[in-house]
Amino acid sequence: MKKINNPNAYIPSSGILPANVDFYKKNGFMIAEGLFSMAETEEIRAETLHIFQGGRGMIEGLQEAGSGETEFDILRKYLCIHFPHKLSPVICKYLSNNKITGILQEIISPNVKAMQSMLFVKAPGKPGQSWHQDEYYIPTRDCSLTGAWIAIDDADIGNGCIWVVPQSHKPAKIYSRTVYKGEEYGEHDIIDSTEFDESKAVPVEVKAGSVVFFNGYLLHSSGRNHSKDRFRRALVYHYMSAESYLPWDQDGRLPLQEDMRDIVMVAGTDPYEEKGIEDLNKAYLRPDFQTIIKK
Ligand SMILES: O=C(O)CCC(=O)C(=O)O
C-alpha cells in the first residue's frame, strides 16, 4: 500500500498533533490510520449489508433480497446510499463518535455540526466519482466544510481509492466544470481538468478502519473499482462549523433556506439552538448512471 511521503499526513494513535493540523491546513487532507478498531469497522460493515438487505426499511430503488442471495449478490447492485444516518442507529452513532469529533474540533471549531452521510458500496466494476469539490454541492462558504471518509474495506488504486490534489483547496475557489465522456467515472458533469494539474494528484491508499479527513474545497476523486471481487465500501460524513449558516437546498430536493436546520450537533454548543432541528432529508439511493445507460 502506497504511503503519503510526509509523516505529518498521518495522525498518530496517541492523538492529533500541531504538525498534523499544519499539514491539513496546507494540504487540505490528512489520515487517521486505524482510527476504528476491527470490531467497530465490522459493525459498520455488517450494518451496510443490513441496510441494503432492507433491514432498516425499504427505500425507493432498493430491491427485495431473494432467499439464496449472498452478501456479494446483494451489494453488487448498488453504488451508494445518501443519508444512511436517517435510517440506521449504527450509522447515526458513528456520526458523533468522539474519535472523529475530537479531530474535527482541532481543524474546524469547538462547535461542530453534521449535515450529511453517504455510504458507498462500490462493487467490482462500479464507476468512480469524478474530480469535484464537496463545497460545490454543500455551500458553507466559510472553508469549514470537512469530509470524514471511513474505509470499511482496504482501499487501494485497484478497487477505487480516493485521490486528492494536495493544496487545491488553497485558492478557496469553486473550479469550473465541463462534460466528461470517459469510462472511469460515473458522472458526466465534472471539474475541468485544464483548471488544475492532474499530475499532482495522489492516491490515498488506506486500510479498513482508517479515516481520511478532507477540506470541502479540496479537489478529490475516486477511481472505478477495477478489481474482480473486492468491494470498496466507505462511510462518509460531512461536517462544518456550527457558527456558520448552511444555505443548502440539497441539489434542489429542498426549498432553499438561509440556514438549513436538518443537522446533528456533534461537538460543543449550537449558537442557533433556538431555531430547533428539522427533519427534512430522507435516505435515497444514488442512481448509477453508467449502469442505467448500459441496460
Ligand atoms: O468514496 C468515493 O468513491 C467518493 C467519495 C467522495 O468523493 C466524497 O465523499 O466526497
Q: For position 295, what pLDDT does the model report?
A: 37
Ligand 1 atom closest to Cα of residue 128: 3
Residues 284, 83 contacting (CB under 8 angstroms): yes
Q: How far apart are CA 94 and CA 40, in angstroms?
A: 9
Ligand 1 neighbours, Cβ below 6 Å, are 118, 120, 122, 128-129, 134, 147, 149, 162, 220, 222, 234, 236
Beta bridge partners of 240: 113
Give nearest CA residue, ligand 1 atom 9.
236
225: CA distance to ligand 1 center in Å? Answer: 13
pLDDT tens digits for range 94-122: 999 999 999 999 999 999 999 999 999 99
Top-confidence residue, 266 or 64: 266
Ligand 1 atom closest to Cα of residue 132: 7
Q: Which of 219, 236, 239 to mutate to test the pocket of ligand 1 (most atoms within 8 A of CB)?
A: 236
Q: How far apart are CA 263 and CA 242, in angstroms?
A: 9
User: Count of CB atoms within 10 A of residue 16's CB?
Assistant: 19
Q: Which of 35-49, 65-79, 151-165 has the lowest mean pLDDT?
A: 65-79
The CA angle 232-237-242, to the nearest 5 degrees, is: 170
Buried b (16+ CB within 10 A) or exposed e, 236-260: bbbbbbbbbbbebebeeeeeeeeeb
282: CA distance to ligand 1 center in Å? Answer: 19
- Start-to-end CA distance of the chain, whole Å, equals 35
pLDDT tens digits for range 187-229: 777 888 888 999 999 999 999 999 999 999 999 999 999 999 9
Q: pTM for the whole thing? A: 0.95
Domain locations in the chain as residue ranges = 7-294
230: CA distance to ligand 1 center in Å? Answer: 17
Give nearest CA residue, ligand 1 atom 10.
134
Second-level CATH architecture of 7-294: Sandwich (2.60)
Grid-cell match 491546513, residue found: 25
Ligand 1 atom closest to Cα of residue 120: 1
pLDDT tens digits for range 50-99: 999 999 999 888 988 888 899 999 999 999 999 999 999 999 999 999 99
Beta bridge partners of 271: none
The CA angle 52-56-60, to the nearest 5 degrees, is: 65
Ligand 1 atom closest to Cα of residue 122: 3
